[in-house]
Amino acid sequence: MLGLCRISEEAVEMEHELVELRKHISSQGILVQDLMAGVCREMDDWNRLPGDVHDAEVEEDPLPNEVTDPKSEFLEKIDLLLAEHKVDEALEAMDAEERSSPDLKGSVEMSSYKSAFMERKAVLEDQLLRIAKQPSICVAELKHALIGLIRLGKGPSAHQLLLKFYATSLRRRIEAFLPSCLTCPNTFPATLSKLVFSNISVATKESAAMFGDDDNPAYSNKVVQWAEREVEYLVRLVKENASPSETASALRAASICLQDCLNYCKVLEPQGLFLSKLFLVLFRPYVEEVLELNFRRARRVIFDLNETDEGLESPSDFVTILSEFAIASDTMMTDCSIRFMQIVQVS
């Protein structure tokens, strides 16, 4: 009895599954009929089109239009060159494109292509700036990078970098030289003057060659301002590293510096740099201070002839002859003359 019940239940389940299977087959049949009907309609529409339209659609490029767009290809080429840091090739390609493409002319409104082009131009500028700012860059590499910036229309930035380079290189040389100032207190201003003014001369010539200062007063004015700052720097160095102002070494150093600097200023005048007045204004207070203190020192020695001055040098031939012909009654006067000549030699 139980077996019959189980068989009856299984029969009912199978009947239910058969019903569901019929429903599925019926729905699939409907889908196939709809598909066939759609295909038939598409074929009828296709057959009604002219023959040349068929050919055009057959020959249509299956790839998107952007792939074969010359503008997109150019931007991809620039991206590759910039990624490989080939700044020269990128600059040449962008120059050529800017000259030939109507979309990049100055009067044209900002299009999507022009915007993308300007973005890559900014990347190229940044790469050139980083090259020019490298601490260990040589003059040839610097000039190459600056010429690239000029071609990108960034002349003022390039000019500023040029002057900064020469100012930095000068300070490095002076830092290496300053420790020797103590060993040559009388002549170190001459070396400093030569370093500073020769650096100014070279920088001025390079600026004129690269930027045409004669045709652009803005650049020449920047050079003059920069040169004036370098002269101020020189005067400050001489003051800070000279011997005490009341010593004879300070007087000699000031005299040498004054003479050499005025000569260098005269040499720079044909290059459009007139620095003599500025130098005299800056250096005059120091010279006056040195002269005043040395005069006071000499006066103290003259009025205190009985006090031995350890700074006096040995008598010259003239002083020796004067002492040999001294008369006993004029011994005091002769001693004063000898000491005065010694003071003159030192002061």
Question: Is 185 in the same domain as 280?
Answer: yes
In whole angstroms, how far apart are CA 42 and each of 36, 37, 38, 53, 260?
A: 10, 9, 6, 15, 98
CA 249 to chain centre: 40
Burial of 104 (0-12, 13-18, 19+ CB in 10 A): middle
Question: Is 180 in the same domain as 310?
Answer: no
**Which of 153, 175, 191 is a domain's end point?**
153
- Residue 17 is predicted with a pLDDT of 72
Q: Which domain holds residue 92?
A: 71-153
Give 258-273 pLDDT, tens digit per residue: 999 999 999 999 999 9
**Which of 130, 153, 176 is a domain's end point?**
153
**Which of 128, 153, 178 is a domain's end point?**
153
Question: Is 171 in the same domain as 309?
Answer: no
Amino acid type, 340:
F
Instruction: Report how far residue 226's alpha carbon sits from residue 228's, in angstroms, rounded to the nearest whole number.
Output: 5
Question: Is 339 in the same domain as 310?
Answer: yes
R_g of the chain computed on alpha carbons: 46
Residue 62 is classified by DSSP as S
Question: Is 161 in the same domain as 291?
Answer: yes
Is residue 100 very low, low, confident or very high in pLDDT (cuts 50, 70, 90)?
Answer: confident
**Over 60: is that where the pLDDT of 329 sits?**
no
Angle made by CA atoms 215, 217, 223, in degrees to the nearest 5:
115
Residue 145 lies in a domain: yes
Q: Which stretches within 49-154 are classed as H helix? A: 51-59, 70-83, 87-100, 112-132, 139-151
How many domains is the chain built from? Answer: 3
Give 179-205 pLDDT, tens digit per residue: 887 778 778 889 999 999 999 999 999
Amino acid type, 119:
E
Mean pLDDT taken over the chain: 79
Residue 54 lies in a domain: no
**pTM tops 0.75, yes or no:** no
